[in-house]
A and B are shown apart, each in its own frame.
Chain A
Amino acid sequence: KNQVEQSPQSLIILEGKNCTLQCNYTVSPFSNLRWYKQDTGRGPVSLTIMTFSENTKSNGRYTATLDADTKQSSLHITASQLSDSASYICVVRDYGGSQGNLIFGKGTKLSVKP
């Protein structure tokens, strides 16, 4: 069964600190993996997309990694800011799948405290 598991479920860090969120998936065959940021009460916003051949991709203070062999991805946030407080959702698409075959994780809720 295609699944996306994220950890931790929630995380509290102090402003200025770094953190790493994890995503493990069992989706096969794999097409791409996306990280979304979702502010409370808002729709998700895409941060990065990674295909099979990509290992690292950065978007400002966000750096995503992908290990397609172990089916793991991480999202590293550097020098966190209060505005980083949100849920971060890992989404995997299987190759050749329909539009409905985006597999969403439950998200990691990040709280950045002053």
Chain B
Amino acid sequence: DTGVSQDPRHKITKRGQNVTFRCDPISEHNRLYWYRQTLGQGPEFLTYFQNEAQLEKSRLLSDRFSAERPKGSFSTLEIQRTEQGDSAMYLCASSGMWDTSTDTQYFGPGTRLTVL
């Protein structure tokens, strides 16, 4: 499978717990994105990496959220002290064209987080 993969696909946790999600992009892609999507809404941008550098962070990415891409390949998104409002689908996407204005982002299947 040469697409974007995410793990786990589903996560149920209790409020206050920490969770970590993993994203493996398409191998030749140097850009990686994290989005959050709630029911009936379009994806909302969280953060973006070019190689290992985190170049942008949305104001949606509170202090409880942290993302890393240590070797410029896979990425992790950690949420500390989860709240019920964190319940959502977390989508990862990757892209690789030089022209960042038109490159196509390929999305993974998402990780659905439920905070009880």
Q: Given the complex, which residues of B lie within 8 Å of A93, measured CB to CB?
A: 101
Total interface residues in chain A, CB < 8 Å: 23
Inter-chain CB contacts under 8 Å: number: 56
Distance between Cα atoms of A91 and B112 in the complex (Å): 22
Identify the interface centre among B42, B58, B102: most chain A CB within 10 Å of its CB: B42
Contact present for B101 and A46 (CB under 8 Å): no
Closest 9 CB pairs of A and B: A43-B107, A104-B42, A99-B48, A100-B45, A46-B104, A44-B107, A100-B56, A43-B108, A106-B42
Query: Can you list 19 residue pairs at the A/B interface with Cβ under 8 Å?
Result: A41-B110, A41-B112, A43-B92, A43-B93, A43-B107, A46-B105, A49-B104, A89-B42, A98-B56, A99-B31, A99-B33, A99-B48, A99-B55, A100-B45, A100-B48, A100-B56, A104-B43, A106-B41, A106-B42
